[in-house]
Every structure is written in structure tokens, then in C-alpha cells.
Amino acid sequence: MSSLKYESQLREPLVKGSKDYHQITEDIVQPIEIKPGKLWYIGFYIAVTLLLFGVWSIYNDVVYGIGQWNLNKTVGWGWDITNFVWWVGIGHAGTLISAILLLFRQGWRTGVNRAAEAMTIFAVMCAGQFPIWHMGRVWNAFFVLPYPNTRGSLWPNFDSPLLWDVFAISTYFTVSVLFWYTGLLPDFATIRDRAKTKLRKLLYGIASFGWTGSTKHWQRHEALSLVLAGLSTPLVLSVHTIVSFDFATSVIPGWHTTIFPPYFVAGAVFSGFAMVNSLLIIVRKMMNLQDYVTIGHIEAMNKVIVLTGSIVGIAYLSELFVAWYSDNRYEGYEFFYNRANLYSSLGWSYWGMIACNVLSPQIFWFRKMRRNLFVTFFMSIIVNIGMWFERFVIIVASIYRDYIPSAWSVYYHPTVWEIGFYCGTFGLFFTCFFLFSKYFPVIAIAEIKSIAKVSGDNFKWSDKTTEIEQLEPEAFAHEYAH
């Protein structure tokens, strides 16, 4: 969507190199039309192997029950719910990029939104696995749905945050898929119309729904995108808010906190952007898309990471402050003995979280670091490890020492099947992502074309710009900035 009418000449171009419209199509569609390289196959097979390991783990879980995981009466939510919250968090960046940045008229979203939205959908798919298989008797999973049933018409509890989760996550998944797919229609049509093989013409013909690019259709498409963005903006904020309600509405010290919704949302954006960074750094290299996902894009995401990382940092400090200021002995025990004490059983996870989420992202205050791909990639991994620690700290560190010492579960550790399940979701995620990068346009072709003229390399500093725009930045500032 062309959200920019005019863009300052002082801004970095979003599309590099001298590109006309046809060149943009070529660059983005070509990787789909040729056979993928060796790296793609290696990555894909590793992902499928992980996925199969996950399937095997889940098979064990279903056959023998969730006692296969080391969960017990005290630690009833262990790795599984940790991973659930972690994956849902990662699934936040895509919709944030495509919806909120659309409303904020951020032109750079066009280069990364397609891949980020795909990542969101796959991450939510992974997240959904955990609560479903955690049910144990998974064949009864449909009990969570409100339908007139034969159990005396007993309904699910609409007052329960766990049921809100069901609605929030399924709505989020549905709306994300719709948003993503409507954006894909014109790009599928582009691939269809230049396809050389019959099979490709057939498949992309089906997938494109018969899109022609008619003016009226574009007008409706723009209206639809805008409204879907407007709907998705509160939706994306609501999803992690509701996930945080799972904890915040309980009475467990460490969970019973009003700060949770904004804290979870900031953390979600933080980890989501880190994941987008790690994926896009690989994809842009693998598919030669450096002209579309520029260092400027990476830098913009790093800015979001340092902002949200600092927000979660403030949240950690607020929690500690309130635990002290409330003078509540259970809160104090939870925060100062179970978490912040490095020598407690799970103290390592708290300090790992602080190091990964709060301290290390501060490196992005330096422009050189924000624009360094190696540092960015390394940091994106660190941030996601840190966010996993955060979920683990919140969930397990809050419950593993129950009120009665005899119920303590200090030696909670996951079994191979619990870890295998987690690896399996990585397999699912990367299998989907590899297939996506092979068969789908990784960058929104139509959207890139619509910003090519306002933000393309060859249109900046050209004779198409006015005299004022051609001034050097210093001269411009001297003349016009007061």
C-alpha cells in the first residue's frame, strides 16, 4: 500500500539499486522459479527431522500421559507453558509490523512485512501446540468450544482467562492468516502471469483467486487492508494481554501483578523483532534480497529492540520495587529469594534473563552496532534466549517453591520428551518457513512497487525532485531549519 506521498530526501532509500517495476518482479519472483540451493535442502531436512522428533515426543505424551514430562503437583506448568508463552510472544512482531506500522505510516515495513507475517502465523501455530497437548486427553480438546452439548448443556467458563486465551489465540491466528493472504493475492497473480510451466500456472492460478489488478479491486483491497490493520492493532495488543491474564488474575506471588499486560506485550514485541531479524538476515542473503531488506531495515528493527528491551528492563525493576515497597512477605520471598538471589535453585535463569534482555541490547544505542549484521544476528539469538528465560522465570520460578516446604519441587527438570516437543515446534516452524521461502514471494511485490518511486534509489537525488529536495542535508538545514 502506498502509504507515502512524499518522502524526505534526507531519508535513506528503502529500495536500493536502480530498479524499475519489472526488475522488482524479477528479483523477488526468481528465487521461486529456480531450484533452491544446497543450503535450502540441508536446512529443510534438518527442520523436518526436528519435526519428526517432535511428533514422536507427542506420541509418547499422548500414549503415556503428560507424566512423561516431569511435571508434578507443584510445577504443573513447566517447559510446555513456558514455550507456549515464548512462541506467542514471537508471533507478535508480524502483525505489529504489518498493522501498527501501517497505521503509523512507516514506509520501511513494506520490505519486511510479508516474511514477518508468515513468521507470526507459524509461531502461533507452534504456540497452539503446547496448551493443546498439555490437555493430556487431547481427543477431548473440543470441550473448550462453547457448543450446545450433551453434558447437561454445561458450558465452558467464560469468566476464565484460560478460555479467553482460546478465543484470543484462535482469533489472532485467523485474522493474521486473512491479512496475510489478502496481501498475497496480487503477488500470486504476478507469479501466475509470468509462469512458464503449466503446473505453476495452475497452482498460482488457484492461489491468486483470479486476481487481475482491476482499479476497483485495488480500491477495495486498500480499504480492506486499512480496516484489517485497524482491527489487528488492538488485537495484537490484546493477545499477549490475555496471555498475561492467565497469570495476573491468579493469586500466586510473582504472577499476581497488574503490570503484566504491558510488560508481556513489550516483551513479545522484543522477542518477535529479534526473531524477524534472525530470519531476515539469513533470507536476504540466501535469496539475494539485500536491495529490499537493507541495513536500514535491520537498523529500524534494532531500534525497536533497544526500546522494548528497555521497557522490559523497567518492568523487572518495577516488580522488584513493588515487592519491596508492598512489604508483602510472600512477594518479597518470591522476588528476592527465589528469583534475584543468584544462589537459589533457579537464580541462574533470573540473571540470565537480565543479562540477555536488559543489559546486552543496550549495545544498540550505537549506530555502528545497529548496522552490523554479525552483531545483530548474534543479539537476535541472545534476545530470544533471554525471553525464554523470562517466561521460565515467571512460570517456574514462581511456583517451584510452594507455600509448604514439603511440596517444594526444587529439582524440576524437563525430560527428553518435553525437550523433544520443544525441538519439534522448532521443526514445525522452520519447515513452514523454508516452504514459505521457496514457494511464496518473501517480499510484498506490489507494496515495494508502490514505494519504489518515492523511496527508490534512482528516484532520490534525481532531476525528478525539486530544487529544495536536491539541497545537501547541511545546506537544507542552513536554509530551512530554524
Partner 1 sequence: MAKKKFVVASFDDEENLFPAVHAVRKAGYKIHDVYTPFPIHGLDHALGLRETSLHTAGFIYGITGTSTALGCMTWIFTSDWPQIYDGKPHFALPAFVPITFELTVLFAAVGMVMTFCWLCQLAPFVKKHIFHPRQTDDLFVMAVECTPSTNVEELKDFFKDKGTVHLEQQEAEAGWWWGRFDREQQIINENAVEVL
Name which of residues 151 to 210 contact partner 1 (CB under 8 A).
152-155, 157-161, 163-164, 167-168, 171, 174-175, 178-179, 182, 185-186, 189-190, 192-194, 198-199, 201-202, 204-210
Q: Kindly identify the residues of this chain, within the stretch 266-325, that bind partner 1 according to CB under 8 A.
A: none
- Residues numbered 389 to 448 that lie near partner 1 (CB under 8 A) are 445-447
Q: CB-wise, 190 or 415, nearer to partner 1?
A: 190
Specify the amino acid at residue 36.
P
The answer to whether the CB of 73 falls within 8 A of the CB of 407 is yes
- Measured CA to CA, the distance from residue 160 to residue 284 in angstroms comes to 43
Residue 232 or 384: the one with the smaller Cβ distance to partner 1 is: 232
Binding mask 228-257 for partner 1 (x = CB under 8 A): x--xx-xx--x---x--x------------
Residue 225 or 357 with smaller CB distance to partner 1: 225
The nearer residue to partner 1, 233 or 338, going by C-beta atoms, is: 233
Q: How far is the CB of 385 from partner 1 (least distance, A)?
A: 31
Q: 20: helix, coil or strand?
A: coil
Q: Residue 49 and residue 16: Cα distance in Å, rounded?
A: 38
Q: Quote the cell numbers at residue 341.
A: 538471589
- Give the nearer residue to partner 1 in terms of CB position, either 160 or 360: 160
The distance of closest approach from Cβ of residue 202 to partner 1 in the complex, given in angstroms and rounded to an integer, is 4
Q: Which of residues 120-149 bind partner 1 (CB under 8 A)?
A: 146
Q: Return the residues of window 333-362 that contact partner 1 according to CB under 8 A.
A: none
Amino acid at 477: A
Of 47 and 96, the one with the shorter C-beta distance to partner 1 is 96
For residue 402, the minimal CB distance to partner 1 (Å) is: 21
Work out how close the CB of 33 gets to partner 1 at its nearest, in angstroms, rounded to a whole number.
13
The site string for partner 1 over 88-107 (x = CB under 8 A, - otherwise) reads --------------------
Q: Which one of 37-45, 113-121, 220-228, 274-282 is the stretch in contact with partner 1 (CB under 8 A)?
A: 220-228
Which pairs with CB-CB distance under 8 Å and at least 24 residues apart come from 309-314?
A: 309/270, 309/357, 309/358, 309/361, 309/362, 309/383, 310/358, 310/361, 310/362, 311/262, 311/263, 311/266, 311/270, 312/263, 312/266, 312/267, 312/270, 312/357, 312/358, 312/390, 313/357, 313/358
Of 190 and 437, nearer to partner 1 (C-beta) is 190
Three-class DSSP category at 135: coil
Q: Which residues of 132-169 are buried (b: 16+ CB within 10 A; e: fewer)?
A: ebbeeeeeeeeebeeeeeeeeeeeeeeeebebbbbebb
| Interacting residue with partner 1 among 143, 218, 333, 408 (CB under 8 A) | 218
The one among 219, 290, 326, 462 contacting partner 1 by CB under 8 A: 219
Using CB under 8 A, which of 114, 134, 449, 460 touches partner 1? 449
CA-nearest of 254, 81, 244 to 168 is 244
The angle that helices 215-248 and 79-90 make with each other, rounded to 10 degrees, is: 150
Selected binder of partner 1 within 77, 79, 133, 211 (CB under 8 A): 211
Question: How many other CB atoms sit within 10 Å of the CB of residue 476?
Answer: 16
> Which CB atom, from 211 or from 350, has the smaller least distance to partner 1?
211
Specify which residues 15 forms β-bridges with: 456
Considering only residues 5 through 34, tell me which ones interact with partner 1, judged by CB under 8 A: 5, 20-22, 25
Per the DSSP assignment, residues forming a β-bridge with 456 are: 15
**Alpha-carbon distances of 289 from 70, 400, 441, 443, rounded to whole Å:** 44, 47, 11, 9
Name the DSSP class of 394: I
Q: Is 465 a residue that touches partner 1 (CB under 8 A)?
A: no
